[in-house]
Amino acid sequence: MEAANPQRLVMTIAGFDPSGGAGIITDVRTILHFGCRPAAAITSLTFQNSEAVFGAIHETADSLRAQVLPVVQEQQVLAVKLGMLPTAELIVEVVRLIQERNLPAPVIDPVIRASSGYELVEASAIEALQRELLPLARLITPNVPEAEMLTGISIEDEQGMREASRRLREMGAPAVLVKGGHLKRKSRIGFREDPRQSVDLLDDQGEVTEFRDEWISAPPVRGTGCMLSSGIAACLALRLSLVESVRLAKDYVTDAIRFAPDGSGEN
């Protein structure tokens, strides 16, 4: 992609993964790939590698505000990506910042649990996300397990993905991208039309777009959720449509999976 343009500032508010496999480091790489300039605020300092998460120290509302305010006071932010928001306190502060500073409606990657099983967010944070943050979103990008946690329904097939997206829109999110990769691994019969395909469903205010792609049989790659959501945010900063933004970001993630030398873990 083209060199970063200082006029296209994309802010990521997310956790920090010292191993570089996910979180803010991955977001920054992705935003730069799409020709935008990244800014970042850390919500949690995690301790992890490709095999497991060993712990985390979370930021406070005050420390998050202290990171964000100097940036947004000086420069115009054209898109916002939200990743790991581990506490209700941080979610309420993000909501306050978006409203006070008139920040763009964010792309939300609802990071809830690591693939190793480590709970990345508190239960009260999930409730705050549902109640406070979803109505401010431009898009939320849950994978199947995240969509199940947020909606309380079991997703076994594409119809379940549609129902989950409908329920998330009823909670206030104007657009939902349910990612089907986990369902593909969960149930090979979930995609009866063609077992060689995976599908993601974009529900934008009731208008559903299916993204069908070749299923790549490869070990999971960490950080794909971060790549996808930050890529979509960067494309929105470039003033592309939501459908175009999702397609370009998905292509980027597909290449990352196809050409990964050795995948392990998943975000």
pLDDT in tens, 146-182: 999 999 999 988 999 999 999 999 999 999 999 987 5
Task: Residue 173: name the closest of 110, 259, 101 by CA.
Answer: 110
pLDDT of residue 222: 85
Handedness of CA 49, 83, 156, 247 (dihedral sign): negative
Number of domains composing the chain: 1
Higher pLDDT, 242 or 3: 242
Say if 14 falls within a structural domain. yes
Residues 216/257, Cβ–Cβ less than 8 Å = yes
Query: Does the pLDDT of residue 193 top 60, yes or no?
Result: no
For residue 5, what pLDDT band results from cuts at 50, 70 and 90?
low
pLDDT of residue 168: 97
Query: Does the pLDDT of residue 188 top 50, yes or no?
Result: no
pLDDT of residue 236: 98
Distance CA 240, CA 54 (A): 39
Residues 168/142, Cβ–Cβ less than 8 Å = yes
Query: Does the pLDDT of residue 258 top 90, yes or no?
Result: no
With the CA atoms of 77, 82, 86 and 87 taken in that order, what torsion angle do they form, in degrees rounded to the nearest 10?
Answer: 50
For residue 266, what pLDDT band results from cuts at 50, 70 and 90?
very low
Residues 160/154, Cβ–Cβ less than 8 Å = yes
Q: Read off the amino acid at residue 105.
A: A
Say if 154 falls within a structural domain. no
DSSP 63: H
Query: Does the pLDDT of residue 23 top 90, yes or no?
Result: yes
Tell me the residue ranges of DSSP E strands in 17-165. Answer: 36-48, 53-58, 77-82, 107-108, 139-140
Helical spans, DSSP H, in 119-241: 123-128, 144-151, 158-170, 181-186, 224-237
Say if 242 falls within a structural domain. yes
For residue 267, what pLDDT band results from cuts at 50, 70 and 90?
very low
pLDDT of residue 52: 86
Element (H, E) at 198: strand 197-204
Tokens 């397990």 appear where?
145
For residue 263, what pLDDT band results from cuts at 50, 70 and 90?
very low
pLDDT of residue 184: 53
- pLDDT tens figures, 105-119: 999 999 988 766 678
- pLDDT tens figures, 47-59: 999 888 899 999 9
Beta bridge partners of 204: 175, 207
Residues 95/132, Cβ–Cβ less than 8 Å = yes
The range of the structural domain enclosing residue 110 comes to 5-148+221-258
pLDDT of residue 264: 40
Query: Does the pLDDT of residue 88 top 90, yes or no?
Result: yes
Q: What is the CATH number of the domain that holds 53?
A: 3.40.1190.20
Task: Residue 179: name the closest of 134, 121, 234, 226 by CA.
Answer: 226
Say if 45 falls within a structural domain. yes
In percent, the amount of the chain with pLDDT more than 70 equals: 87
Mean pLDDT calculated for residue range 249-258: 91
Average pLDDT, the chain: 89
Contacts of 79 (CB under 8 A, 6+ apart): 10, 11, 36, 104, 107, 233, 234, 236, 237
Task: Residue 30: name the closest of 38, 41, 19 by CA.
Answer: 38
Output the DSSP codes for 124-141.
HHHHHIIIIIGGG-SEE-
Say if 153 falls within a structural domain. no
Say if 121 falls within a structural domain. yes
Say if 136 falls within a structural domain. yes
